[in-house]
């Protein structure tokens, strides 16, 4: 009997396929919005958390731990201050520090950030589950005028090993602030990582110092072009300051003690942050917005379910004769009841499944676009438990809603459906 009721419900929906398809679309869009918000939220978190691993502390000027994390790791925003090279050396010389990676930021190239660093960056920087950076082609920089490109930079700008790159002073659009007299040559291209590394241009700290000879005032000196490359190579190109320092400790057990020591040391003020704790603070800041988006998505699903109810209710008057004929041919009141409920359940189920498929297609398209724009991969995509639970919840809610038109249909008498109203 159950199968015959379902078959009858399916044929009934096919007879009203126009309104049924619109109802399914409404439910699908509402479900896809809810799942899309949830998946992007969790995927973005996973992408952020996979950007850096194995780094115990990030040290910079006291600008706030979220700001320090964003500009040093994710290349978002700018540093308001730097730390001196002597201070960096004192950090590197600590007995509890195993390794350090100095980072110098501030320049750019056609919208991509330039990262000044040294060989320890490629040796110690980790992402994901501890994956090391590797070259797709070429070699690491060995000269002050060589650069290693992230995968997205090379792909989007069409650069290859041997191409020339002219850096721009600051984050502007170029022009008068270009270092065109000190071009870099691409020595290598990194393999894709799904992190901001893909959208970064890596040069040596000495190279950063070299291109700024004659720029000590913040703008190009009229005498900058008179200084030859040979003269610059003879200078002491040790940087005067760095933007941030990635720190790995000898023992993780000293993490909090080392952080406190750096934050409270005398002399130049410093801010040492634990990347995971800084990310946790960032999620607290964004949590209010996330909860608001989820609440809106839930209400949108409720609106989609109301469309199921509206669709069946509006068809009841047109189906008076259909209900009466079913009753006259032997259908019991229970059969009519379950027919109405089955129609609502089918609309909810089909809409929910279509919503899951729709959000998967949308994320397959949007994922690479977000990664290309911000250098942060969206993790955790694909089908998951939340998809199944959402389909079940929508199916159950639609089934429950279907009892309303079912009860209304039962209240109508057999004679009401067979009487011709003039």
What are the tens digits of pLDDT across the range 361-388?
888 877 666 666 555 556 556 778 888 9
Question: Contact 328/371 with Cβ under 8 angstroms?
Answer: no
Structure tokens given for 250: 């000898």
* Beta carbons within 10 angstroms of residue 134's beta carbon: 9
So what's the pLDDT on residue 414? 45
Distances (CA, A) of 244 to 37, 194, 267: 33, 22, 17
Whether the predicted pLDDT of 169 surpasses 70: yes
DSSP letter (8 states) at residue 99: E
Mean pLDDT of 127-148: 93
Whether the predicted pLDDT of 221 surpasses 80: no
So what's the pLDDT on residue 332? 66
Q: Give the closest residue to 204 by CA, choosing from 234, 242, 169.
A: 242
pLDDT one-digit tens code per residue, 336-351: 777 778 888 888 899 9
- Indicate the domain borders of the chain: 2-48+286-418, 52-280
Whole-model pTM: value is 0.76
pLDDT one-digit tens code per residue, 81-117: 899 999 999 999 999 999 999 999 989 999 899 999 9
pLDDT one-digit tens code per residue, 237-286: 999 999 999 999 999 899 999 999 999 988 899 999 999 899 888 888 88
So what's the pLDDT on residue 286? 82
Whether the predicted pLDDT of 422 surpasses 50: no
So what's the pLDDT on residue 415? 44
So what's the pLDDT on residue 413? 44
Confidence band (pLDDT; 50, 70, 90) for 217? Answer: low
So what's the pLDDT on residue 173? 60
């Amino acid at each position: 009997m159950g199968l015959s009721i379902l078959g009858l419900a399916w044929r009934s929906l096919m007879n009203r396929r126009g309104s049924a398809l619109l109802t399914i679309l409404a439910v699908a869009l509402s479900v896809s919005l809810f799942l899309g918000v949830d998946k992007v939220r969790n995927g973005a978190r996973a992408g952020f958390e996979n950007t850096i691993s194995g780094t115990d502390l990030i040290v910079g000027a006291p600008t706030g731990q979220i700001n320090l994390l964003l500009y040093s790791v994710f290349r978002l925003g700018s540093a308001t201050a730097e730390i001196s090279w002597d201070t960096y050396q004192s950090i590197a010389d600590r007995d509890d520090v195993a390794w350090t990676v100095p980072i110098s930021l501030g320049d750019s190239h056609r919208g991509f950030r330039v990262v000044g660093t040294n060989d320890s960056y490629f040796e110690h920087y980790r992402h994901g589950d501890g994956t090391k950076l590797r070259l797709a082609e070429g070699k690491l920089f060995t000269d002050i005028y060589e650069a290693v490109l992230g995968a997205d930079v090379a792909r989007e700008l069409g650069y290859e090993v041997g191409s020339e790159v002219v850096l721009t002073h600051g984050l502007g659009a170029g022009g008068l602030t270009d270092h065109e007299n000190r071009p870099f040559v691409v020595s290598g291209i990194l393999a894709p990582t799904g992190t901001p590394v893909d959208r970064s241009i890596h040069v040596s700290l000495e190279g950063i110092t070299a291109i700024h000879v004659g720029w000590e005032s913040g703008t190009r000196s009229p005498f900058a072009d008179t200084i030859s490359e040979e003269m610059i190579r003879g200078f002491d190109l040790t940087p005067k300051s760095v933007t941030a320092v990635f720190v790995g400790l000898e023992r993780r057990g000293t993490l909090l003690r080392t952080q406190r020591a750096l934050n409270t040391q005398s002399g130049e003020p410093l801010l040492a942050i634990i990347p995971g704790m800084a990310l946790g603070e960032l999620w607290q800041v964004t949590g209010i917005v996330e909860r608001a988006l989820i609440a809106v998505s839930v209400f949108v699903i409720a609106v989609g379910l109301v469309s199921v109810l509206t669709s069946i209710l509006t068809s009841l008057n047109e189906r008076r004769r259909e209900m009466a004929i079913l009753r006259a041919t032997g259908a019991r009141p229970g059969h009519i009841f379950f027919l109405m409920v089955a129609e609502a359940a089918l609309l909810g189920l089909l809409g929910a499944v279509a919503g899951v498929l729709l959000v998967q297609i949308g994320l397959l398209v949007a994922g690479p676009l977000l990664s290309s724009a911000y250098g942060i991969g969206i993790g955790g995509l694909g089908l998951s438990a939340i998809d199944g639970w959402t389909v079940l919840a929508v199916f159950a809610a639609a089934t429950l809603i279907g009892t309303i038109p079912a009860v209304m249909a039962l209240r109508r008498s057999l004679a009401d459906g067979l009487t011709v109203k003039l």
